[in-house]
Each structure stands twice: as C-alpha cells, then as structure tokens.
Amino acid sequence: MDSVFCYRDSDAAAAQGGPLQGLRIAIQPNLSVAGWPTEAGSHALANYTALEDATAVQRLRAAGACLCGSTRMSEFGFGLQGSQAGQAIARQAADAELVLDLMGESRLAAANTAVCGFKPSYGLVSRSGLIGLIPSMECCGLLSESMPAVRKILQAVAGPDELDFSLPEEAPPDLSPQAIDPRTTTIGVLSEAMRGLPGEQQEEFRASVHALQQAGFRTREVSLPDFPLCSLVHNVVGSVEASSCAGRYDSVRYGPRPPGAKNWNEMYLLARGAAFGPLLKSYLFQGAFFQFEKYEAYENACRIRARLLADVQQLTAQTDFLMLPAVAGAAVGAAASLADAYAHFTCTLFANVTGQPALYLPPASGARQAGFQLAGPRLCDGRLLALGEHLLNLRRGGK
C-alpha cells in the first residue's frame, strides 16, 4: 500500500468539463466518499465505509475534479501525528489536497512541505459528510502549490448547504480574481506573535516583512494583547466539544466491540477505552472534566473567546490584512502530550478560535526569508487569496 495514500483511486468519477477538469485532488479519510474507507485515522471507525458523498465531494465532482485517493491522517485530524498531509502534493501524486483544519493543521502541513495552505472562513464550506471533532472551530483546509487552484477549488465547494445547519444564512463572499494595489494595502504585523520566535526565525520573519515593504506594501506593527489566550480558549472549548462529539463512538453504531463486557455500561467503557489513541484520549478526558466538573472554566473560556472576536474585529478594521509567523521554534514533530501538541500550533490557533480565513505562503527558493501567515476579516477569503497570489508571483519572479 502507498506510504502516503491509505486508499487510492486514480479513476474516481468526475463530471466531464467544469472548472476543475483534470485537477487531481486528494482528500483525508474523514470526508465521506461513497464506497471509500472513511476511518478518520481512528480505531473507533475501523472498517467503516461511507454510504454517500459529502457535500464538498459532490461539488468537487460536479466541477470536474478527479478524486485521486485519501491520504493518511492523524486521529480525527487532531494535530499532525501520523499525518501525511501535503506529501501527495510534494510527490506530485496530487495537485491539491483537502485537509481538516482544527488547530492549524493545513497551514503547518503546508509549511512542512513548502506549499500553500489555506483555511477558509468558518461557515463558508459545508461540513455535511465531514467526520469532525471540534464543530465550532474546524473546516476543510486546502493545500496546493498553485494559488489559482486553491481559488478554483474554494469557488467550487463554498456556499450554502441545507444539509449543514451550522452554516450561517449569509451571502457567500466574492471569490473571483481581484487586483491588489500594494500602494493602498496596509498589512499589520502582529507583535505578540513575533515575541516567541527564536532569534534566527525572528530575523527571517523580519526579512519577509522588509520584502513586503520593498514590494510597495505599507506595513505597521499592531498589537493584540490577548493573543496568547487563544491557546487557552482553544484547549478548553475545543476539548469540551471533542468530548461531546466523541460520545457517539460507543461500539453500538460505530467501531469494533471489545469482548468481555457483562452489561451495557461495561461495554461502553471498554469500547471507549479501546477506540482512541493516548493523545486524543487525554484530550477527551480533559473535555469531560471541564464539561462535568469545572464547567465555569468552560464558560469563562467562551467569554474570553467572545472578547477575542471583538478585539480582532477592531484590529482588522485598522489594517487590510494581518501578518504573523506560522511556526514558532522547532518543526512540527510527534506530540507526546497535549502541551506538546498545542505548542506546535501556537501561531495558528487564533484563526480557528475567531473563524478568520488564514493563508500560509512558503518562502522563496534560496531566499533567507520565512514562510508566513496572512489573515483578514471573516469572509474576506477572495481578497486574501488575491493577496496571496500577488505575493507568490513576486516570490517566484512573476509580475
């Protein structure tokens, strides 16, 4: 079996013609494709096969895309441990990949493989048919070397869906190509995100800021004092939502049933104990604690989240876009604990907490600059992609 794909289908059905004709797209096995293994990287869904296509899959096929297979993922998409996100693109086995973004996985996977990684605004892409974990923070991220491909895929999958009750009733943003004028575009550099960078990384990031200035963009340092609280809010709120969502994996509807149970309660406990890996299990235990023993901590985290949303709205009203690092410290590796997992995603969690779109751009080949994230107000996805395409063309020597 391929080391990247956990299921490969080079002849998946696609509509003839369409804007995505000829584009090979890999997905993760938590996005339902009828007849495909859909185990979401977890023993809790061992041998589960999807019965119908997710809404995003239906729309990809209708637009002419070829679904070339599903890639190996971390358990329920939480973190990048065991994930092969981005490798199908790096090995030229796919042109793009859909990756669940819970904490910033699509952006850090992009950083690991030197491609572009985009997290859309929350509520822009239907979650119907998606096996998720943190409903209020997760969405389908996109990886590709090509920014036009990212835009075309988003245009194909975005929009209202009556099967997804979590989608707000609002008009989708304009996702068509747009011109970017550097002289009238202000990019705010988030100071709190830079403070935790090691010396060399900080120099490389500042070199990237200087490159933007040389390209004609106006930059200014901006502050979000509560930025460090994004990790706390995500940890508390996310674990409670995950604990609630994972309650369905009780071996009655999904997953293998361990032998030896004497009654239904024992069966439930044994099944839950066998269903999850150590990292996810500790996250679920934590969520249950906040849900049943320390609920006031969860309420406080929700209040802080609301304050962060208001502060970010004020901040994005002062600048057109925000710029911040993607990786703080060492490259992402195996997480031995929840603290390790959250340390890897220090710079990316904010967008999942606030629902903003966020884009990772890789560094220019041979340049002593860092890859970085760009973010903007919720539903500014089209303009953010336009900025990314403009900058990527500059980095690759285009006009």
User: Cα 235 vs. chain centroid, distance in angstroms?
Assistant: 16
Task: Report the pLDDT value the prediction gives residue 236, as an integer from 0 to 100.
Answer: 98
Task: Report the pLDDT value the prediction gives residue 134, as an integer from 0 to 100.
Answer: 98
Name the stretches of the chain with pLDDT < 50. Answer: 1, 399
H or E segment and range at residue 313: helix 295-318
Give CA separation, 55 vs 116, 254, 347, in Å.
24, 22, 30
Length of the chain, in residues: 399
User: Cα 36 vs. chain centroid, distance in angstroms?
Assistant: 22
Give CA separation, 45 vs 50, 93, 378, in Å.
11, 26, 33
* Beta strand segments in the chain, E: 5-8, 24-27, 66-71, 96-101, 116-119, 139-144, 186-190, 218-222, 321-325, 358-361, 372-375
* Tens of pLDDT, residues 324-358: 999 876 555 567 789 999 999 999 999 999 999 99
* Tens of pLDDT, residues 251-296: 887 778 888 888 888 888 888 888 999 999 999 999 999 999 999 9
Task: Report the pLDDT value the prediction gives residue 1, as an integer from 0 to 100.
Answer: 44
User: Cα 251 vs. chain centroid, distance in angstroms?
Assistant: 28
Residue 343, phi then psi, degrees to nearest 5: -65, -35
Residue 201 CA to residue 360 CA, distance in Å, equals: 16
Q: What is the DSSP pairing of strand 116-119 with strand 358-361?
A: antiparallel
CB atoms within 10 A of CB 181: 9
Task: Report the pLDDT value the prediction gives residue 121, as an integer from 0 to 100.
Answer: 97
Q: Assign 6 to helix, strand or coil.
A: strand
Residue 376 CA to residue 383 CA, distance in Å, equals: 9
Task: Report the pLDDT value the prediction gives residue 93, as an integer from 0 to 100.
Answer: 95
Task: Kindly list the structural domains of the chain, giving each domain's residue range(s) and its CATH number in brackets, ordered by start.
Answer: 5-157 (3.90.1300.10), 182-227+309-395 (3.40.190), 232-297 (no CATH)
Task: Report the pLDDT value the prediction gives residue 265, as an integer from 0 to 100.
Answer: 84
Q: What is the DSSP pairing of strand 358-361 with strand 321-325?
A: unpaired
Residue 216 CA to residue 219 CA, distance in Å, equals: 9
Task: Report the pLDDT value the prediction gives residue 126, as an integer from 0 to 100.
Answer: 96
What token pair was written down for 31?
């996005």
Residue 260 CA to residue 283 CA, distance in Å, equals: 26
